[in-house]
């Protein structure tokens, strides 16, 4: 039955691990923050407790040792330092691994685990003078369990007369002892008064128990912990081995019961079971001192959400997409039919499906935060590896994106950050020599802009020389040496395949993966990536991403009889083609609308269609947002606004750069979704490229 909950535990543990990492980063900045330590402890505690419950015993054991460190810390017996934090980070990786593999089966893993535990134990004991007797006992529980050796204990249990009044039934405690091993109980009833004096709510009995158990003396004390102040209790190890099996001892017990004479430790100590086992452990007094509990003041997010498998959400979004398509069909039918009743219905359904679409879409959004930990970790690890000191500053971690987009985003962002760490940020010496603070900064900033999300990764490193990039592009034959390019256009060259600014491929970045791959990956999710840099000041990489992939509000247009969809989010304005609009054709195509000039692209040219013999009068100019400017697209006809479900083109048409997907229209026909950013970029780039 437990297996059913295993997956749940794994998911939950990933959350706990995430929380652990986050808290650890916070702790690194403020090593004395009790609340954070409490949070870390709690996360570890959940991992440990759950691990043992759900069959992750090695994980549980490992976390136990790790938890010990933080238990010492929260009880002021150990102070946090960088070593502990680094060790904990490493441990987190190990825990992740254990969560992945379950219990260890391979020899190598076992070895690693044991060595790791030793390191963790060493860290916990580094402050050994301050470790009190109590902690020693706690840490000894584990080793005692590892060597199963049984020991017989003589337990004198003399409850007070009023013990029954507190609702305690002493016989249940005897039951508990029986559960711990082999037990013999001697009951002493000589104190039971005559019926005249007998009060049924009083207890008049006491017991002696001989218990053979593998558990420690503390475990036995635990049984009595609730009645400790309502009884007299003595627990002593007696004899060697399981003396309960000896006939002499059994006779002694029978006699003791019969004569109501208590057994003594001395009388039992002379016995030794033949099968000599490990010498009995010293009995230790239980130190019942209670550390004051650290009450957590920190208000955490109340769990007001439920966990749903991501496949279910994908399915929901899919179904909603289908419904949006059907709804479009209905809308078309209603319009043709023209009956007011059905028109009204169609409109209501359109409104509802729009709300449903927005809701379903919102559900599939997850905050960026979930991935940021990896970046933070990367910066931390690389800082150590490269001997650079870098602060990673995050803004807008709560920005939400479609989970499919976030999944696509991780690798490119890791690459970008790696680049900044490797090529951008200088060594502390270099920085100081250039009058900069020794610590470099990588700023990660995310924010909404219209229907897009912008992510900017900015480093304050040495920057990129645009002239160097230009020359390099010329030498690689990517541009003509006479091409006049703006700074922005030059930096765009970095994303062309076959371009890598670093001659020597370093270990950290540039493992043959260039910025062109970043561009391609971001392009796959209909995003754009741009670069800006200033020498000596730093480099900014900007990603512009759509918030969702599946459903968009689109404008349906026609070019040479074919239907296309342009995402509404990228459209600024639509102009009818009248006399006020002037086209200029010199070295660039420019259109003048309301006294302003825009570069223009005739979509007939882009899609290799012939020019029409005559104008129909329905041609329109659509102004599209492209980077910081507007670009005009000339189309044959604007049909109208539609909600469209974007479907992937399939692998045969994957090479279609300017098209991001296809959409099935209400009447069953297909229209292609134009990726305006790509289209404009490609069209404008044409003029720089050598023929």
Partner 1 sequence: MAKTVLIVDDSESIREVVNFTLQNEGYDVLVGVDGEDALQFLDGRTIDIVITDLHMPNLDGLGLIRKIREIDAYKHIPILFLTTESQAAKKMEAKQAGATGWIIKPFVPAKLLSAITRVLR
Residues lying near partner 1 in the complex (CB under 8 A): 1-2, 4-5, 8-9, 12, 39, 41-42, 45-46, 48-50, 52-54, 60, 64, 134, 137-138, 141, 167, 172, 218-219, 221-222, 225-226, 228, 286, 288-291, 293, 295-296, 298-300, 302-303, 307
Q: Which C-beta is closer to partner 1: that of 141 or that of 496?
A: 141
In this structure, is the dihedral angle defined by the CA atoms of residues 94, 97, 103 and 106, taken in order, positive or negative?
Answer: negative
CB of 21 to partner 1, least distance (A): 17
Q: Dig out the tokens for 70 from the structure.
A: 């933080």
Q: Which C-beta is closer to partner 1: that of 148 or that of 340?
A: 148
Q: Dig out the tokens for 670 from the structure.
A: 């297909």
Tell how far CA 420 is from the center of its chain: 23
Rounded to a whole number of angstroms, the distance between the first and last alpha carbons of the chain is 69
CB 521 within 8 A of CB 510: no
Q: Which C-beta is closer to partner 1: that of 70 or that of 188?
A: 70
Q: Which C-beta is closer to partner 1: that of 272 or that of 296?
A: 296
CB of 151 to partner 1, least distance (A): 18
Q: Which C-beta is closer to partner 1: that of 135 or that of 528?
A: 135
CB 445 within 8 A of CB 544: no
CB 347 within 8 A of CB 469: no
CB of 350 to partner 1, least distance (A): 39
CB of 575 to partner 1, least distance (A): 56
CB 241 within 8 A of CB 182: no
Residues 622, 630: Cα–Cα separation, whole Å: 10
CB of 288 to partner 1, least distance (A): 6
Q: Count the neighbouring beta carbons within 10 Å of the beta carbon of residue 682.
A: 15
CB of 525 to partner 1, least distance (A): 31
Q: Which C-beta is closer to partner 1: that of 54 or that of 392?
A: 54
CB of 67 to partner 1, least distance (A): 9
Task: Give one DSSP letter per residue of 154-179, joined into a string.
Answer: EEEEEE-TTGGGGT--HHHHHHHHHH
Q: Which C-beta is closer to partner 1: that of 295 or that of 585?
A: 295
Q: Which C-beta is closer to partner 1: that of 52 or that of 537?
A: 52
Q: Which C-beta is closer to partner 1: that of 230 or that of 528?
A: 230
Q: Dig out the tokens for 632 from the structure.
A: 């005009």
Beta strands in 112-239 (DSSP E): 151-159, 181-188, 206-213, 231-238
Q: Which C-beta is closer to partner 1: that of 140 or that of 524?
A: 140
- Give the residue among 354, 436, 446 at the shortest CA–CA distance from 399: 446
CB of 28 to partner 1, least distance (A): 21
In this structure, is the dihedral angle defined by the CA atoms of residues 86, 90, 91 and 93, taken in order, positive or negative?
Answer: positive
Q: Dig out the tokens for 81 from the structure.
A: 């330092």
CB of 165 to partner 1, least distance (A): 12
- Residue 213 pairs in a beta bridge with 151, 181
Residues 4, 311: Cα–Cα separation, whole Å: 18
Please, which residues have CB within 8 angstroms of residue 651's CB and are 6 or more apart in sequence? none
Q: Which C-beta is closer to partner 1: that of 129 or that of 289?
A: 289
CB of 25 to partner 1, least distance (A): 19
Tell how far CA 164 is from the center of its chain: 52
Q: Which C-beta is closer to partner 1: that of 41 or that of 375?
A: 41
CB of 299 to partner 1, least distance (A): 7
Residues 238, 154: Cα–Cα separation, whole Å: 6
CB of 300 to partner 1, least distance (A): 4
Q: Which C-beta is closer to partner 1: that of 292 or that of 579?
A: 292
CB of 159 to partner 1, least distance (A): 16
Q: Count the neighbouring beta carbons within 10 Å of the beta carbon of residue 411.
A: 13
Strand 538-546 vs strand 596-602: parallel, antiparallel, or unpaired? unpaired
Give all strands of the β-sheet with 231-238 in edge-to-edge order. Answer: 181-188, 206-213, 151-159, 231-238
CB 331 within 8 A of CB 348: no
Q: Which C-beta is closer to partner 1: that of 8 or that of 351?
A: 8
Could you tell me how many residues make up the chain? 691
CB of 172 to partner 1, least distance (A): 6
Task: Give one DSSP letter per residue of 243-297, joined into a string.
Answer: GGGSHHHHHHHHHHHHHT----HHHHHT-B-SS--SPPPPP-------PPP----
């Amino acid at each position: 039955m437990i297996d059913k909950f295993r997956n749940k535990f794994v998911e939950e543990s990933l959350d706990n691990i995430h929380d652990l990492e986050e808290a650890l980063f916070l702790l690194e900045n403020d090593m004395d923050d009790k609340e954070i330590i409490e949070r870390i402890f709690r996360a570890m505690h959940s991992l440990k407790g759950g691990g043992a419950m759900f069959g992750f015993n090695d994980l549980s054991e490992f976390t136990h040792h790790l938890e010990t460190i933080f238990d010492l810390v929260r009880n002021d017996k150990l102070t946090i330092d960088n070593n502990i934090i680094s060790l904990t980070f490493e441990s987190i990786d190990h825990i992740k691994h254990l969560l992945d593999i379950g219990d260890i089966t391979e020899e190598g893993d076992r070895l690693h685990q044991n060595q790791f535990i030793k390191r963790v134990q060493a860290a916990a004991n580094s402050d050994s003078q301050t470790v009190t007797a109590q902690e020693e006992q706690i840490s000894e529980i584990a080793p005692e369990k590892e060597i199963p050796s049984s020991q017989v204990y003589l337990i004198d249990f003399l409850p007070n007369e009023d013990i029954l009044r507190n609702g305690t039934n002493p016989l249940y405690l005897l039951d508990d002892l029986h559960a711990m091993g082999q037990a013999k109980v001697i009951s002493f009833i000589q104190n039971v008064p005559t019926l005249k004096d007998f009060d049924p709510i009083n207890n008049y009995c006491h017991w002696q128990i001989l218990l053979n158990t593998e558990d420690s003396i503390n475990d036995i004390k635990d049984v009595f912990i609730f009645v400790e102040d309502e009884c007299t209790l003595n627990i002593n190890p007696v004899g060697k081995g399981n003396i309960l099996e000896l006939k002499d001892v059994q006779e002694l017990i029978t006699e003791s019961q019969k004569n109501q004479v208590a057994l003594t430790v001395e009388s039992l100590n002379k016995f030794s079971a033949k099968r000599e086992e490990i010498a009995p452990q010293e009995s230790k007094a239980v130190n019942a001192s209670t550390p004051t509990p650290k009450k957590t003041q920190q208000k955490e997010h109340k769990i007001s959400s439920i966990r749903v498998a991501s496949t279910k959400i994908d399915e929901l979004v899919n179904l909603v997409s289908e419904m949006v398509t059907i709804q479009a069909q209905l809308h078309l039918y209603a319009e043709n039919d023209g009956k007011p009743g059905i028109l009204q219905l169609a409109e209501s359904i359109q409104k509802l499906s729009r709300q449903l679409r927005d809701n379903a879409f919102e559900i599939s959004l997850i905050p960026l935060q979930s991935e940021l930990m990896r970046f933070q970790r990367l910066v931390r690890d690389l800082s150590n590896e490269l001997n650079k000191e870098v602060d990673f500053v995050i803004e807008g971690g709560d920005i939400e994106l479609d989970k499919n987009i976030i999944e696509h985003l991780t690798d490119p962002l890791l690459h970008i950050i790696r680049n900044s760490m490797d090529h951008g940020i200088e060594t502390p010496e270099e920085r100081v020599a250039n009058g900069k603070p020794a610590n470099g900064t990588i700023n990660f900033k995310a924010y909404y802009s219209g229907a897009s999300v912008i992510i900017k990764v900015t480093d304050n490193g040495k920057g990129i020389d645009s002239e160097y990039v230009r020359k390099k592009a010329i030498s690689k034959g990517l541009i003509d040496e006479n091409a006049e390019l703006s700074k922005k256009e030059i930096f765009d060259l970095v994303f062309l395949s076959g371009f890598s600014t670093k001659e020597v491929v370093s270990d950290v970045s540039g493992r043959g993966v260039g910025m062109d791959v970043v561009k391609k990956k971001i392009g796959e999710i209909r995003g754009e990536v741009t670069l800006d840099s200033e020498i000596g000041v730093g480099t900014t990489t900007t990603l512009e991403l759509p918030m969702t992939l599946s459903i968009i509000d689109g404008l349906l247009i026609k070019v040479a009889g074919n239907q296309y969809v342009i995402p509404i989010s990228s459209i600024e304005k639509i102009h009818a083609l009248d006399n006020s609009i002037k086209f200029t054709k010199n070295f660039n195509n420019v259109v003048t609308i309301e006294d302003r000039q825009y570069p223009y692209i005739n979509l007939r040219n882009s899609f290799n269609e012939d020019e029409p013999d005559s104008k129909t009068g329905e041609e329109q100019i659509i102004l599209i947002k492209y980077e910081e400017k507007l670009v005009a697209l000339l189309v044959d006809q604007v049909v109208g606004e539609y909600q469209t479900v974007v479907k992937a083109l399939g692998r045969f048409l994957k090479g279609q750069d300017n098209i991001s997907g296809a959409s099935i229209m209400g009447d069953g026909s297909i229209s292609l979704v134009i990726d305006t950013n790509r289209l404009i970029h490609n069209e404008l780039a044409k003029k720089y490229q050598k023929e």
